[in-house]
Amino acid sequence: MKWGRLFTIVLVFFLCWGLVTPVFGRSKRKKRKRYYPPITHPVVLWAKTLSQTSEKEQRKVAAFKLSQYSQPIFQEDAIKAITQCMKDPDEEIKVLCAKAMRRAGTQKDRERIRKVLLTQFDEDPSLRSTLVRTFIDRKDDAPLTHDRLLEAAKTSQNPDEIQVYLQYFENFGSGADNWVTVLTDLYKKNDSLKLKNAIVKTLAARGLGQQAIITLFAECVDSRDTPLVLNCLSGLEQQAKGDEQSRTAVRKTLQSEDPDVLLASLDVIMSLGEASDAQLATRLINIIEEVEDPEIQEKAVLALGVCGDHSEPVVEILRKMLESKTNEASQIASALVIGKQANLFPNIPRTLLSKCATESPSVQLKTACSVGLLDLDKTVPPVARTTAEQKQLSAKPQEKPTSAKTP
């Protein structure tokens, strides 16, 4: 009996010990974790490698990792290490560190980092292209940075380096007169087509419509290089104000047989503002008659709405396009334009527009014809006028206008 009671007591003791021991073990483990050293941020480790290790390959790996790091590098020790690393005798390492400066510092450090980068820019010409790209990535549009880079671009003799300056100015160029003067001078003294194209794109993107820009674009459309001509036309579209230089330039390019040049020229006309131009109108009529590309035809019709001279040949070609069943886009364009151009010859256009507005199977064409009819009635009373020109047009509606041909 005594042995049974003793066995029961021992069994209960061991069961209780088994339940309590894991709890004490966990609490002890938790306490031990508190004494582990804190985990070091990888940026700090890479920075220590740069500043404390002399082994070249390890330093190169650390510099590469910092240059690829995508988050802000705000640790002061890391910023100091990268700054010092930009003076490294190894060319590859200092280039990687200059790239790492793209992420260096927070907003409050921008001014300090800018001064560091500009100092390095002045002291190490071999690093300038990399530093300019760093300024671009940092979106540094400060006047101090802008003016320093502009001065460097003005004196640089290296086309590849100038190309990088232009990347900066395409994003952050001031558009001021001095900036325009520097870039136009660079265009004139460099023969590289790649560089010329970059200068034109930069002036087009950031210029403020200065006459020097328009003059350069109007002259460069004479180039034999099609990409340069297209860039110059795009520049005219963005910068021109309808002046005579722009019109003279587009008269030249409209003679081209290149469809891309024709489309770009038509875009320029649409941006110049409405003004009658008999020479442009005549060439547009020829393009509509001769070119089979539906996009070019449509744009040429719309361009007549900008520069058409309200003449009989203009009204006649618009009538023919409106009656054509092959290209609805050109029909719609003709309906919109003829209402503005037919004020001297209103009878036949009014009849066509009225019929089209009610009988056309297309809702879009019906709407365009209604709009054209309203425009026509704004300039000409609904009662048809009798003029010698209208009688001539009514008598020969199918006759091909001879005045539409270029000499």
Answer whether 0.85 is exceeded by the pTM. Answer: no
The pLDDT tens digits for 319-351 are 999 998 888 999 999 999 999 999 899 999 999
**Contact between residue 75 and residue 41 where contact means Cβ atoms under 8 Å apart:** yes
As a whole number, mean pLDDT of residues 277-297 equals 94
pLDDT at 22: 52
Mean pLDDT score, 177-182: 97
Question: How would residue 16 be classed by pLDDT, with cut points 50, 70 and 90?
Answer: low
Q: What is the mean pLDDT of residues 146-152?
A: 97
Tell me which residue has tokens 């618009």. 318
Domain 43-140 falls in which CATH fold?
Leucine-rich Repeat Variant (1.25.10)
The tokens of 372 are what?
């054209």
Query: Region 153-165: what's the mean pLDDT?
Result: 95
- Whether the per-residue pLDDT at 292 is higher than 60: the answer is yes
- State the number of CA atoms in the 13 A half-sphere of 225 facing the CB: 13
Give the mean pLDDT of 242-257: 92
Residues 70-96 pLDDT 10s: 999 999 999 999 999 999 999 999 999
Average pLDDT over residues 132-156: 96
* Pairwise CA distance, residues 311 & 67, whole Å: 66
Type of residue at 283: R
Mean pLDDT of the chain: 87
Domain layout of the chain by residue ranges:
43-140, 311-407
Q: Residue 73, SS3? A: strand
Long-range contacts of 383-390 (CB under 8 A, 24+ apart): 384/346, 384/347, 384/350, 385/346, 385/347, 387/344, 387/345, 389/312, 389/344, 389/345, 390/344, 390/345, 390/346, 390/347
Residue indicated by tokens 């037919």: 342
Res 382 pLDDT > 70: no
The pLDDT value given to residue 379:
79
